Structure 1
């Protein structure tokens, strides 16, 4: 990678990606965005990596885009077609657990929303803050928030730009768990390790199916789920799962 502002570590079958620009609340530069694109591809290409934990260093998960860089685009059209860090994570086939340790603002909130599972520290706060600066989010903010917390709560966040704390995020369904700061990353790793122990093809098809459930009409979503079930059922891992059940032992999944 071309930057030290994004860290990568592999712990067994779990990749840990850390936004590492704490002095700037992990505001994302173009170099960081490029690094995330590279790391997403690395995770997709690796049979050894089965799940991902995404977190930030210091007091923030991410404060979104580095505002000072936004004036560098030569035209609105160049801004529209920029390589975006949120888009880099959307292509990840492996499940992503977000360990949200502090501020998740603007694009940082969008980044968290793209993750499959969100865990928050008691110190976390969330805001769709772009409206305070004269624009709105462009990485899926409205749609992803509406799916997570409903249209009324989404309107509050989008139209005021004011933050909500971790407990309200939990009540609204934005996060699954709220933990003390020291427990956040261990819990995220525990959950990602559990996911990594499952049949990887089945896990990835479950992720694809969840996306389809939001984007397809009900009858098409159910038919798509049946197709994915059939694909999974034909794998050697499914054969192994049935054999392990019959033998009363832990399965040994090989991604085949």
Structure 2
């Protein structure tokens, strides 16, 4: 495993099968530029191609998870059409086939909130806050904000956030189902990496299929989603890892899984 970043603004750390990707621009509240988006897209491609990587933690440095896109750079797009067709960090995160845990250490505003919503599991520090403030500036989010937020916290709570632009705290985020856990700030990264390590210990084909199946469940009518799930079950059942899982269960021992 030799996944590295080509910019100090995106940090990559490996611990066995777990990769931690950190937005590392604390002086700008981890606001993301186009160049950072492109580097994240390259890193995601490398992670997808590396069979040794089985889980990802995505987080930020300092007091922000991410304040979203760097607004100061948005005027670089010559036309709204060029702005519409850009590749951004949410696009990159959506393309991750490996499970990804958002460790939300502080402000998750705008595109930072969208990035967290794109992750499979969200864990927040007690000090984290969440907002969709684009409406205050005259536009709305474009990285899946409305659909993902409504799916996560329900239509009325999503409307409250999207239409007021006001922030909610970590306790509210937990009560609404926006995050799975809230932990002390000093414990956040350790807890996220601990959870990632548990996921990484599971058979990787089954884990990646579970991720794909969850996405299908949100996007297909219920009957089609159930049919899709049954087909995916049959595929995973035929793998060497599934045979090893059945053998390990019968022999009352831990399984050893290789992604075959």
Within 5 Å, give how 1:34-183 maps onto structure 2: 34-183=38-187
Task: Name stretches of at least 5 consecutive residues in structure 1 with no aligned partner.
Answer: none
Match in the other structure for 1:244: 248
**Hey, what's the Cα distance between the residues in 1 that align with 2:39 and 2:126?**
29
**Hey, what's the Cα distance between the residues in 1 that align with 2:66 and 2:227?**
38
The number of equivalent residue pairs is 256
Task: Name stretches of at least 5 consecutive residues in structure 2 with no aligned partner.
Answer: none
TM-score (norm 1): 0.99
**Hey, what's the Cα distance between the residues in 2 that align with 1:32 and 1:58?**
17
TM-score (norm 2): 0.98
Match in the other structure for 1:255: 259
Kindly indicate whether the alpha-carbon contact (under 8 Å) linking 1:102 and 1:121 is maintained by their aligned counterparts in 2. Answer: yes
Match in the other structure for 2:8: 4
Shift of 1:128: 0.3
Shift of 1:155: 0.3
Match in the other structure for 1:216: 220
Segments ≥4 residues shifted beyond 6 Å: none
RMSD (CA atoms): 0.5
Kindly indicate whether the alpha-carbon contact (under 8 Å) linking 1:3 and 1:31 is maintained by their aligned counterparts in 2. Answer: no
State the Cα deviation string for residues 40-59 of structure 1 (Å, max 9, x = none). 11110001000000000000
Match in the other structure for 1:193: 197
Secondary structure of the residue that 2:93 maps to in structure 1?
helix
State the Cα deviation string for residues 218-246 of structure 1 (Å, max 9, x = none). 00000000010000000000000001011
Kindly indicate whether the alpha-carbon contact (under 8 Å) linking 1:127 and 1:164 is maintained by their aligned counterparts in 2. Answer: yes
Shift of 1:2: 3.7
Kindly indicate whether the alpha-carbon contact (under 8 Å) linking 1:59 and 1:102 is maintained by their aligned counterparts in 2. Answer: yes
